[in-house]
């Protein structure tokens, strides 16, 4: 690892056509260890690669005489008005990409007008993130639990104090996946993790050590604990099975978050998009579904919504935008997805997000 | 973009074996921006690539004792005698490929003896196209509607005055797809669009601007409008869903045109050939079906006809032939498809186009 | 094309491990035009490539406690004792590969102890082929019919005079496929075709001209004609459909020959091995089935036999062996297939060819 | 082949991230002929490659609220306490990889705490292997039978004398597969095979000669012979069919071993993992199932156990570890699999090996 970690200081408009451009550009400006940490997947990257390929498993049928014009991506979710059904996924340590870190990303997401999910392993404090977003920004807090209940209560209180509207319990990373790029790079965290400093300093830690310091033994009781100690809606993140749907809803979760952690955890599991249909069937409309992992195009957002997701979260692309353009870059990334989604909506014959959710995709029989 | 756009001035016989040769040759003579516009697909080019691959989803079974000799591709359609069930697809701006533009292509198609579909965005006037084809040439007019009804009436009157036998309403391009090659090339139209000059000058416009100037809000009422204002058969182009089949037929369309715009519009949708079977089933013989997108071989024409198409339209290959050989090149392209189709007909044991349409293809189980 | 065609004069043992070695070696010694003609497939070579890939569609399950030792490939067919169920496919113009031509290949096949199918387009006379094989060699004659009945009667009489035990009517090549390698090489036949000289000189002819001089309009009547004019068993070659099975058997054919002409005729059709199962089901044991196209391994022979074939014919590999080693090379090729087949038989737990034919392959679900 | 075979003398910790690293490293230190023999597969290596690819045919669904912490790979098998359900597969001639040969590998496996299967073709004597493992090590003996019963009785007595707890009858290698790399390398065994010296010297022999000297004609009687002459549990190795399951159990086998010999025998057969489901269904819990072929990851071990295996054997990776690090390297390889398995267990929500075996994998529909 680099002795002194030199993250980008970029701020301003980026020139890009698509997310591949952005990833290639980000590789140039993010230090090798940080880029490896952000971009890589687990094991043989089968699941990582499936995440994007899987969107071809279902096809959008164009509808051409549907009387659609200037489709509208705006929607309401839990009382919040959002510019689009596209939100910020929790990603650790934005400071790896840009010295402005979460201060820049939270500001941009607020300007774009959608939900910002702050990671437990953020490089900034929740106070800074709140300040960057502004008092009314819909911010959620992603929680990696400590092994100690008292610390957990303190962190939840801190989140609440800083206006979190929901708690996202990440439950699929109780140990780190076999992220071999990090091992090859000898990557350790160069930055502090102020939010969880009560149980994890961050600096100089491997990912295995970071995950090891958090709570492994997660169960429905933890959902209940968070709900009762925060009085906030709880989303369980990492749900891919019918069993976890029932455990989540049964223990009072307000929503489930379908994710395979961007293909960084269990290689040899399904693409997140493939799991979405199973989860949506099991949820059967009882609670909202958030979806992430593999979104790189407006058509991916459309397909996730048409497959049962209520909100779609993006992670890596935002971090690449942050590295290359700071807050401006982050906002451009959200605008990119919104613009592609509008184009897809027009061509698919859907005027509103509600129309997308009623769309039936065609199973791709030829794979 | 090139400041001065220098299209080819070629006229004369081309030496080629197949359409790949032609595409490679055309790349050498068409200016980069124009070639990118003509050849490229949308987004990740998944749908673009599927268009050709999809023909392997169904297999032609050779039939060897069928008493066939010198099979005949001739047919009649809507009272016109055609050399083959292969027609000219509407393609914008032939002037990008050859300075002779539609004057050359219309002449060649007339000589070959099939239907010529003139694009709204042609580089020539409808008067020039009519003159090139001759008084009796079966010419159709492809319509991108203006937002203003009066302009639409004027254009339809112009088409009628110039002997159009049918109007093709392109309904799948109310906005442009994410054609990234054009963005990378900074492509803007270097040529005028005389047919639609009442609402679009063409010159210096991006494709997004061109599509943006046309009507987005298409519905069955537009089919009715065109039919009643032109008294001509209307074909709805871009139909891939059962719903659009019903809307088209229900609003008086004389035919549907299965197409995904050559993979240039909605990436993440099905191959056009895969949609054909759904459309054919929905149409159930009520109206004729025209098919395009991905045709590069005689076997593709055969498979489309055996899957429910009545006419098969070709686009890019014709433009490549135009770039390399002018009118002569265009005619050679049509002769190539006719000759390959005759060979396939003989080996498949089919004497006539009607025999092809009765052929049952074998589903490829191994994909 | 080469002005003077210099075929190989090799005779003697070849050093090779598998058929890929042989193909690569042959490419070095056969003149370019001849090699292109022999090795290439039609169109986009989809069907050509499928021919070999298709053997992976079905899997041989090893059987390990079956009490098998030194499995035996010998069998009887139509009263002839064969070393193995592997015969020589008809291939035109062995003189393209070796100046000894059919004289060498017929001698080697006789020594190996199996059926030799002489092509109508052989470079030697039937008298020479008979002499090379010896009086008792089981030789069949592959027939490309003339358009004139009197010539056909003469050729059948010649075949009979030279001891042919069966007539193979090739019915899948009434026109040539789109063999683009030949066109690119400007290939014309450099050698005479003495057997059919009454209707085709051969020398200087393109394949299209050669096929064009033969009869196109084949039907069950031709099977009847050959049977009644030769009093020999007739095999219809190129059968891939249920309809042709019925036409063949209905018109008195003694067997059907499943083949797609080595992927040289109709690109876009199925692999020959995939068609075999359809044909075997339609034949239902009424007549024997010969199979060719794509055989490169002993396991392929095994799979074809287990899928309904009674005899398996090999073509290109034999010609490569002929080019590199004359009669000795040809015999080595047959020994290669016999030896690999014995190995597969042992591992699959099959003692005899009859055991192979009772074997059930496992459908490969993962393709 | 090398005149003097110089195997590695390495002993000590290896630096590696995954099994690909290990294979690449081993290629550098093992002489070419030996490496070719160890690493290569049969024929076109279709089955060899499928062995690893096939693990993607079934997917592990993460389970995140299962109350799991520090999962435990320990288990009991046939009265033995094992560190993990991962055992040493029989591999011939460890001396090809390291001069310490089986003395090093047996010691390491004993330290790790699992079953060691000694090959009939080991480079060491059974006495040496026993001594290296220690008196209590659970060692099994893999048996290639001689054609002579008296020799077989002697070898079984020797195994028993040296504390073998079970006899593994390898039944899928009565002849060698078409291992073309060995033929290309002109590989002959450079080392003696002391265990079977009564019928096979080893030195200077090709694999074909080695297999040829052993018994081909295996049947249920041989299982009975071994059971009655050894009074030890017998495992039949190479079982992939329902028929062999019944023959094995019917003749008194104590277990079946699903394997395709690492893809070295019958190319064109199924992946071993794909056969496992058929075998598990046929066994229906009557006897334990051992599985090998293609294991390179902890997730593979997990998937095999969830598909019916009771023990999973690893071969090539151990030999690579032996070449690079002697006994230490071997132990590291076992630790690698154990550690990855623990990670997968945590993420899949399984606390114990018994939990893994109750897990239902999701069929991958998208292949």
The ipTM value here is 0.97
**CA B33 to the chain's CA centroid:** 21
**CA B147 to the chain's CA centroid:** 24
Smallest CA–CA separation between D153 and chain C, in Å? Answer: 20
Best mutation target, C175, C206, C245, to test chain B (most B CBs within 10 A): C175
pLDDT per position as a tens digit, B86-103: 999 999 999 999 999 999
Q: Given CB atoms, is C218 within the 8 Å cutoff of chain B?
A: yes
Going by pLDDT thresholds of 50, 70 and 90, the confidence category of residue A2 is very low
Give the residue among C23, C5, C62, C125 at the shortest CA–CA distance from C343.
C62
Q: How far apart are CA C84 and CA C298, in angstroms?
A: 11
Interchain proximity D241–C61, CB inside 8 Å: yes
Helix locations, B40-145, DSSP H? 46-53, 101-112, 126-133
Chain D hits for C341, CB-CB cut-off 8 Å, are none
Active site residue A57: no
Interchain proximity A347–B266, CB inside 8 Å: yes
| Mean pLDDT calculated for residue range A21-30 | 98
The tokens for B320 are 């490549």
Q: Given CB atoms, is D299 within the 8 Å cutoff of chain A?
A: yes
Give the pLDDT score at B3. Answer: 67
pLDDT per position as a tens digit, B123-174: 999 999 999 999 999 999 999 999 999 999 999 999 999 999 999 999 999 9
Cα–Cα–Cα angle for D171, D246, D241, rounded to 5 degrees: 60
Hey, CA dihedral for D285, D286, D287, D290, is it positive or negative? Answer: negative
B78 against D2, higher pLDDT: B78
pTM of the model: 0.97
Smallest CA–CA separation between B138 and chain C, in Å? Answer: 31
| Mean pLDDT calculated for residue range D203-221 | 94
Q: Which chains touch C (3 or more CB pairs under 8 A)?
A: B, D
Instruction: Write the residue in D54, D183, D244 that is nearest to C64 by C-beta.
Output: D244
Q: How far apart are CA B289 and CA B257, in angstroms?
A: 6
Q: How far apart are CA B87 and CA B98, in angstroms?
A: 20
Ranges of beta strands (E only) in chain D are: 58-59, 75-77, 80-82, 86-88, 116-118, 139-143, 167-170, 234-237, 255-258, 289-291, 311-314, 362-363
Q: How far apart are CA B326 and CA B101, in angstroms?
A: 8
Instruction: Write the residue in A46, A248, A266 that is nearest to D348 by C-beta.
Output: A266
Give the pLDDT score at C1. Answer: 43
Task: Examine the pLDDT at D315 and tell me if it is beyond 50.
Answer: yes
Instruction: Write the residue in A64, A69, A367 that is nearest to B171 by C-beta.
Output: A64
Going by pLDDT thresholds of 50, 70 and 90, the confidence category of residue A1 is very low
Cα–Cα–Cα angle for C13, C15, C19, rounded to 5 degrees: 110
Cα–Cα–Cα angle for B363, B366, B367, rounded to 5 degrees: 95
Interchain proximity D17–A180, CB inside 8 Å: yes
Q: What is the mean pLDDT of chain D?
A: 97
Smallest CA–CA separation between B254 and chain A, in Å? Answer: 15
Going by pLDDT thresholds of 50, 70 and 90, the confidence category of residue A202 is confident
**Which residue of chain C is at minimal alpha-carbon distance from D264?**
C347
Give the pLDDT score at D202. Answer: 84
Give the pLDDT score at A201. Answer: 85
Give the residue among C267, C27, C62, B326 at the shortest CA–CA distance from D244.
C62
Q: Given CB atoms, is C55 within the 8 Å cutoff of chain D?
A: yes
Q: How far apart are CA D33 and CA A290, in angstroms?
A: 55
The tokens for C229 are 């004019």
Interchain proximity C62–D265, CB inside 8 Å: yes
Q: How far apart are CA C83 and CA C73, in angstroms?
A: 6
Give the pLDDT score at B1. Answer: 43
DSSP state of D223: H
Q: Given CB atoms, is A172 within the 8 Å cutoff of chain D?
A: yes
Task: Examine the pLDDT at D92 and tell me if it is beyond 90.
Answer: yes
How many CB pairs lie under 8 A apart between chains C and D?
A: 100
**CA C22 to the chain's CA centroid:** 17
Task: Examine the pLDDT at B2 and tell me if it is beyond 60.
Answer: no
Interchain proximity C266–B70, CB inside 8 Å: no
Q: Which are the catalytic amino acids of D?
A: 261
Task: Examine the pLDDT at B50 and tell me if it is beyond 50.
Answer: yes
**Torsions phi, psi for C361 (to 5 deg):** -80, 160
| Mean pLDDT calculated for residue range D242-248 | 98
Best mutation target, C172, C269, C276, to test chain B (most B CBs within 10 A): C269
Interchain proximity B265–A60, CB inside 8 Å: no
Q: How far apart are CA A201 and CA B155, in angstroms?
A: 71
Catalytic residue among A57, A94, A261, A300: A261
Interchain proximity D60–A266, CB inside 8 Å: yes
Give the pLDDT score at A217. Answer: 98
Q: How far apart are CA C92 and CA C121, in angstroms?
A: 5
Q: How far apart are CA A169 and CA A145, in angstroms?
A: 8
Q: Could you give the count of Cα atoms lying within 13 Å of A212 in the half-sphere of its Cβ?
A: 7
CA C216 vs CA A315, B67, B70, C234, D319: distances in Å: 64, 8, 8, 18, 63
**Which residue of chain D is at minimal alpha-carbon distance from A258?**
D62
Chain C hits for D293, CB-CB cut-off 8 Å, are none
Chain C hits for D46, CB-CB cut-off 8 Å, are 56
Chain C hits for B365, CB-CB cut-off 8 Å, are 274
Is residue A117 within 8 A of residue A318, CB to CB? The reply is no
Interchain proximity D241–C70, CB inside 8 Å: no
Buried b (16+ CB within 10 A) or exposed e, B191-227: bbbbbbeebbebeebbbbebbebbbbbbbbebbebbb
Instruction: Write the residue in D43, D218, D269 that is nearest to C65 by C-beta.
Output: D218
Give the pLDDT score at D2. Answer: 46
Chain A hits for B270, CB-CB cut-off 8 Å, are 59, 61, 362, 364
Q: How far apart are CA D95 and CA D123, in angstroms?
A: 5
pLDDT per position as a tens digit, A317-333: 999 999 999 999 999 99
Q: How far apart are CA B158 and CA B151, in angstroms?
A: 11
Going by pLDDT thresholds of 50, 70 and 90, the confidence category of residue D367 is confident
Give the residue among A132, A139, A135 at the shortest CA–CA distance from A118.
A139
Q: How far apart are CA C144 and CA C147, in angstroms?
A: 10
Report the percent of chain D where pLDDT is more than 70.
99
Per DSSP, the three-state class of C144 is coil
Task: Examine the pLDDT at D114 and tell me if it is beyond 60.
Answer: yes
pLDDT per position as a tens digit, C272-307: 999 999 999 999 999 999 999 999 999 999 999 999
Is residue A84 within 8 A of residue A337, CB to CB? The reply is yes
pLDDT per position as a tens digit, B288-320: 999 999 999 999 999 999 999 999 999 999 999
Chain D hits for A238, CB-CB cut-off 8 Å, are 62, 64
Q: How far apart are CA A273 and CA A302, in angstroms?
A: 12
The tokens for B324 are 């390399």
Q: How far apart are CA C133 and CA C325, in angstroms?
A: 17
Beta bridge partners of B72: B352
Q: Given CB atoms, is A353 within the 8 Å cutoff of chain D?
A: no
**Which residue of chain D is at minimal alpha-carbon distance from A271?**
D59
The tokens for A146 are 């400590």
**Which residue of chain B is at minimal alpha-carbon distance from A69?**
B217
Going by pLDDT thresholds of 50, 70 and 90, the confidence category of residue B367 is confident
Is residue D88 within 8 A of residue D114, CB to CB? The reply is yes
Chain C hits for D214, CB-CB cut-off 8 Å, are none
Chain D hits for C52, CB-CB cut-off 8 Å, are none
């Amino acid at each position: 690892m680099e002795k002194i970690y030199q993250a980008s200081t970029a701020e301003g408009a980026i020139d890009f056509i698509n997310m591949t451009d952005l990833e290639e550009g980000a590789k140039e400006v993010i230090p090798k260890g940080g880029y490896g940490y952000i971009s890589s997947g687990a094991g043989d990257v089968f699941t990582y690669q499936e995440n994007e390929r899987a969107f071809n498993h279902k096809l959008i049928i164009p509808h051409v005489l549907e009387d659609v014009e200037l489709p509208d991506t705006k929607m309401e979710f839990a009382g919040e008005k959002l510019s689009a059904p596209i939100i910020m996924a929790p990603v650790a340590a934005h400071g790896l990409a840009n010295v402005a870190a979460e201060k820049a990303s939270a500001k941009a997401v607020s300007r774009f007008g959608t939900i910002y999910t702050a990671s437990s392993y953020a490089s900034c404090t929740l106070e800074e993130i709140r300040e960057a977003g502004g008092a009314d920004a819909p911010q959620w807090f992603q929680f990696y639990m400590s092994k100690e209940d008292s610390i957990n209560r303190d962190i939840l209180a801190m989140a609440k104090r800083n206006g979190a509207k929901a708690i996202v319990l990440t439950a699929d990373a109780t140990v780190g996946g076999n992220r071999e790029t990090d091992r090859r790079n000898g990557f350790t965290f160069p930055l502090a993790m102020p939010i969880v400093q009560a149980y994890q300093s961050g600096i100089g830690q491997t990912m295995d050590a970071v995950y090891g310091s958090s709570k492994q033994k997660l169960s429905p009781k933890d959902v209940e604990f968070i709900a009762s100690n925060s009085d906030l809606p709880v989303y369980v993140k990492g749900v891919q099975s019918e069993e976890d749907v029932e455990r989540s809803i049964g223990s009072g979760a307000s929503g489930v978050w379908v994710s395979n952690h961007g293909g960084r955890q269990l290689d040899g599991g399904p693409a997140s998009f493939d799991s979405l249909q199973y989860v949506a069937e099991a949820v059967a409309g009882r609670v909202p579904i958030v979806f992430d992992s593999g979104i790189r195009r407006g058509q991916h957002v459309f397909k996730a919504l048409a497959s049962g997701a209520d909100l779609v979260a993006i992670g890596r692309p935002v971090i690449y935008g942050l590295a290359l353009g700071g807050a401006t870059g982050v906002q451009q990334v959200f605008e990119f997805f919104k613009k592609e989604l509008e184009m897809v909506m027009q061509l698919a014959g859907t005027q509103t997000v509600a129309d997308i959710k009623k769309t039936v995709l065609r199973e791709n029989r030829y794979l």
